[in-house]
Structure formats: C-alpha cells, structure tokens
Amino acid sequence: MQLTGLLWGSKLLKYVGFPTAEILGPEASVDEINDLIAKHGEVFVKPIFKGGVGKKGKAGLIGRARDIETALREKERLYFVDYINNNQRAKADGVTFEGGVPAKYEVYFSIIESTVYRTSTMVITHHGGVDIEELPEDKIVQVPFDPLTGLKAFHVSNALEDINAPSEIISPLVQNLPKLWELYDNYGMTTLELNPIRMMPNSRGRLVPVACDFKASFDIDNPAWKRLKLPGHLFASDYSEFEQEINQLRTYQGQSDVFVINEKGSITAFTFGGGANALVTELLGDYATISSDFGGNPPYNKMFQISEIVLKYWLDQSNVLFIIGGKANNTDIFETFRAMADALRNYFNKYGPRPIFVVVGRGGPNLIRGMAYMRDTLEALNLPYRIFGHDSAMSEVVNYALKVDHWMKDGGKKKIMAGLTNTELPETSKDDENRKEMANV
C-alpha cells in the first residue's frame, strides 16, 4: 500500500513534529487560496492520485501560481487529469494548494528496506528534486543501520559530511531527520521518502527543514499502520467500481492492493504472495485482467467475499481462472481453496455456466485437502482444469496458463461451452512431466 502527497502526509509528519509546507485541500475556497498566496507569495497546485504515482514533476503535473487567476486555471487543468507513467495509469481526483517555501537548498531523504544491505537504510543528498535518479554516486549516499537502535544523529551527520554538504544545513537536518525513524518504525512503513525537503530560513536566519512532498509504503502484514486510522479508499489505485469494492475488504491483514491491469484481459489470476504477484504480473502482461496479492492467511469468509467480487467483474470475459502462489508457510490452503471453489459454485448457480479453464499452482499447509476440494468442485461444474504442486516451477505454470489461453481462443472455449468432457489440453514440456505435478488430484 502506498500513500503520496502532503494532503495526508502532512498529518502523518505532525505525529513526530516534522515541519511541512502549509497546504489546502480540494475543498479550499477562493478566499483561502488567495490568503495562502498572499502569505507565501506563490502556491504549487498538485493533483491528488490514489496510491503511489511518481515522476509527476517531469510530466508537467505541478502547477505554479502567484495570483488567484492562475491558481484557478491550474486547478481546472489538473483536477481530473489522466496520467500514464510506463504501464501505470492514474486519474486525479482533486488538487492540493501548497504554500511556496523559499530555499537555497533542496534535500532528498528516504528510509527504505534495502535488498542490498538486508536492513533499514537511509538515503540522503543535498541535491534533491525531480532529477534525483540521475545523480552520480559521489553526490548521494546510502547508510545502512541497525533497526533495533534506529536512525541516529551521527548517521545523518556522517553521511552529509561524506558528500560535502554545506555546513549550514547539517545541524538542522541532524536535529530533525532522526524524528522520521519514529514515524517509519511505529506505523508499519517499508518506505518513507521526502523529496524535496526545502531548507527555509526562519525569522532568525537559521535554516529549517520543511517537507514539500511525501511518499510512504506500508507493510499490510504489520497491523501498526492501522493506528494511523487512514481511510481505506486512500490505497485504491484507481476509481473503478471493482477496485473500490474489493479494497473495502482491506480491514484484514491478508488483503493487499488489487488493481486493474487490462480491462480487456483474458486471464484472471488469484495470486498469493508478493513474489508470486511480481512474477505473474510480469509474465502475463496484458493478458492479465488484474494484479492481486491475497496472501497473509485470509479467513474463509474474507476470501469468499473477495472471490465473489473478482468473479462478478471478470469471470465472464476470462478464458483462464488462474490460482497461483508459492509454498505458503502459514496460509491454510484448504480454507482459501474452499472459499474460492464455493464462490465459483455460487457464481454458476446464480449466472449459469461459463466456459472457463482453471489452472492451479500452490503449496502449503493442508495442500492435498484443499486441492481435493477444488478438484471435486470443478468436476461437479464440468470444468476442465490442471493442478500443479508446490515443486513445479512457477514460471512454467504461468507459461502453461498462457498456452491454455491461446488454446481457448483457438476454439477451446467453444468446445467447453458445448459440454465436451475430454478437453484437448495444450502440450507441456518434458520438464513439466518430470516434475511432481499434481495434475487432476
């Protein structure tokens, strides 16, 4: 789950007393915007997106205004703007107005879970801004530290000295940046990024760090984020009815972000685990209807509700219903499979049979019992299926699902609809045959 922008970021930063730019939300009146301009000399108008949306500045999605007429024009331009960044598409729903912060220096700061150092890591530079990715190594520094002791003042001080930061910014940053570890550690974050922090002089001429943008990612398996009492709709990636409906179920730790990849896709995947989600989303590409991660041992009722929603929106157009994940440690395979199978049975009872091919690849506790329940349900519904065990390579299972999709488009769907029971299957590799596939358990 990701959160961007100061509309909510400023509220989070107040928990630790970190200064932020003054901000007004989309409901701000003309008089309030005018007063903000008068107080700060200018305002920055930024669109509000769901989830994490990067590179807005480079895309020209930040307006700058020194008078109310320009501010309102920028509001009109950005309020419902569509934005495409690589394969990510987002639509704004409102704008924020941020008071200008005069500054000579801009600082980039983040705390991340580094896959290189395998620990919490601070990233910092005094060359912050939109071109942070293009900085050479001698102008930005990564500092791993022990999460048991946290981020300390000497981490910040030593890092800034290593990159020859101006001495006048070191002391204010040393005093304020360690506060952000408290926010990061206490509320279940995996990423906390401020870019830029503008070093604004106060009335006595001393520089003060002021956050002018905010980004955070949360670990949904860590219940600490719930203490922030953030509304669930903040983490929906878009405003489609499907995403809004299914993300209402995020009240339990086992439901993570779900978003639409291709509204005209032909493979609908129930994916379990972040690693599986990344691999499956990449390999399926535009064939996938949605990207999902339903790991975390969701209980039967929650998984049943999720399955009903997914099937309601996507089963009718899909060729393949794909259930995939690695070997689980804690997720009860029987409970999740029973929920999905019952939801599929209910769908057929309510809407009638649909020509669909089911491909399953999973491992974990109660695996055989769960697969047997799925098998019995699919055979009762007269649906073709193929089931792979935990020792089958996930990439090969994904490739098999793609082969099934092509076969369905080449006439297989009509054969299934005609009620044929001996369905011709796409060929599998010899390596697949040699693995311990649990085909037709």
Residue type, 62: I
Provide the pLDDT for residue 250. Answer: 52
- Model confidence over 58-93: pLDDT tens digits? 667 899 999 999 999 999 999 988 877 665 667 787
Q: Mean pLDDT over residues 305-315, rounded? A: 93
Provide the pLDDT for residue 73. Answer: 94
Q: Mean pLDDT over residues 326-333, rounded? A: 82
Indicate the pLDDT class of residue 109, thresholds 50, 70 and 90: very high
- Model confidence over 424-439: pLDDT tens digits? 444 444 334 433 333 3
Provide the pLDDT for residue 433. Answer: 40
Q: Mean pLDDT over residues 323-328, rounded? A: 87
Provide the pLDDT for residue 86. Answer: 60
Structural domains in the chain, CATH included, are: 22-100 (3.30.1490.20), 104-234 (3.30.470.20), 240-434 (3.40.50.261)
Tokens in use for 63? 């307006």
Provide the pLDDT for residue 275. Answer: 72
Return all residues near 50 (Cβ < 8 A) that are at least 6 apart.
90, 93, 233, 234, 235, 236, 237, 238, 239
Tokens in use for 315? 């089963």
- Model confidence over 123-139: pLDDT tens digits? 999 998 767 777 888 89
In angstroms, the CA 290 to CA 267 distance is: 8
Provide the pLDDT for residue 418. Answer: 82
Provide the pLDDT for residue 125. Answer: 95
Strands 23-24, 88-91: pairing is unpaired
Q: How far is CA 60 from the centre of its chain?
A: 23
Strands 63-65, 259-260: pairing is unpaired
pTM, full prediction: 0.59
Provide the pLDDT for residue 53. Answer: 63
Return all residues near 363 (Cβ < 8 A) that are at least 6 apart.
325, 326, 327, 328, 333, 389, 390, 391
Task: Say if residues 283 and 291 touch (Cβ distance below 8 Å).
Answer: no
363 pLDDT more than 80: yes
Q: Sign of dihedral through CA atoms 2, 8, 13, 19?
A: positive
Provide the pLDDT for residue 240. Answer: 65
Percent of the chain at pLDDT exceeding 90: 57
Whose structure tokens read 């509000």? 48
Q: Mean pLDDT over residues 267-275, rounded? A: 86
Q: Mean pLDDT over residues 282-294, rounded? A: 87
Nearest to 140 by CA among 129, 150, 151: 129
Provide the pLDDT for residue 438. Answer: 34
Indicate the pLDDT class of residue 101, thresholds 50, 70 and 90: very high
Q: Distance of CA 312 to CAs 61, 130, 242, 267, Å?
A: 35, 41, 9, 14
- Model confidence over 112-125: pLDDT tens digits? 988 888 899 999 99
Task: Say if residues 169 and 175 touch (Cβ distance below 8 Å).
Answer: no
Which of 209-223, 312-326, 361-375 is least confident? 209-223
Task: Say if residues 80 and 26 touch (Cβ distance below 8 Å).
Answer: no
Nearest to 94 by CA among 40, 45, 42, 53: 45
Provide the pLDDT for residue 317. Answer: 94
Q: Across the chain, what does the average pLDDT equal?
A: 85
Nearest to 307 by CA among 276, 344, 281: 344
Provide the pLDDT for residue 179. Answer: 95
- Model confidence over 165-178: pLDDT tens digits? 999 999 999 999 99
